[in-house]
Amino acid sequence: MVYAGQAGATRWPSGGRSRNTLYERLVGMHLAGSAGFSTFRLSLAAVLAASLGVRPGNEDALSAWMEEHLRVVPVPVTDADALGALEQEVLALLDPPLNLSHMRGTVIRSQLTRLRSAWKQ
C-alpha cells in the first residue's frame, strides 16, 4: 500500500457533512483530474515526472500509468462521523509512504516533499 484516503467524512469541528463520494474522489480527482486537486496525484506526478515526461498541464501519461499499475481497494464505512478518526487509525497502522499530512517524518516523505515542490514550479 502506497496511499490511503477517505471520502465523505464529517468535517470536524464544524460537523458539516461532506458531499464527496468515493467514485468522485477516485475517478474525478485522482485518476483523471489534475495534480492541483489531488495530493495523491501530485505525489505520483512528482515521483514519476522524469520517467514519464509528466509536467503540470500535461498529465495524460500519468493517468495511463496509474490505470496500468495501481489498484484500489475500497472499504465502505457507513458512519461518516467516525470516518475521519478511522482514517487516522488506518494511516497510523499502515504508514503508507505517499501520505504526508499528520504522518511521522521519514527520509522518503522528506524527499517526496522536495520533489512535489520542484514539480509544481
Closest CA to 5 of 100, 69, 70: 100
What's the pTM? Answer: 0.88
Q: Indicate whether 62 pLDDT > 90.
A: yes
Q: Does residue 12 form part of some domain?
A: no
Q: Does residue 7 form part of some domain?
A: no
Q: Does residue 43 form part of some domain?
A: yes
Q: Does residue 1 form part of some domain?
A: no
Residue 85 pLDDT class (50, 70, 90 cuts): very high
Q: Does residue 16 form part of some domain?
A: no
Q: Indicate whether 52 pLDDT > 90.
A: yes
Total structural domains within the chain: 1
pLDDT in the model for residue 16? 86
pLDDT in the model for residue 20? 82
Q: Does residue 42 form part of some domain?
A: yes
Q: Does residue 11 form part of some domain?
A: no
Distances (CA, A) of 31 to 39, 53, 92, 99, 118: 12, 17, 25, 17, 22
Q: Does residue 5 form part of some domain?
A: no
Expressed as residue numbers, the domain containing 113 is 22-120
Q: What percent of the chain has pLDDT over 70?
A: 100
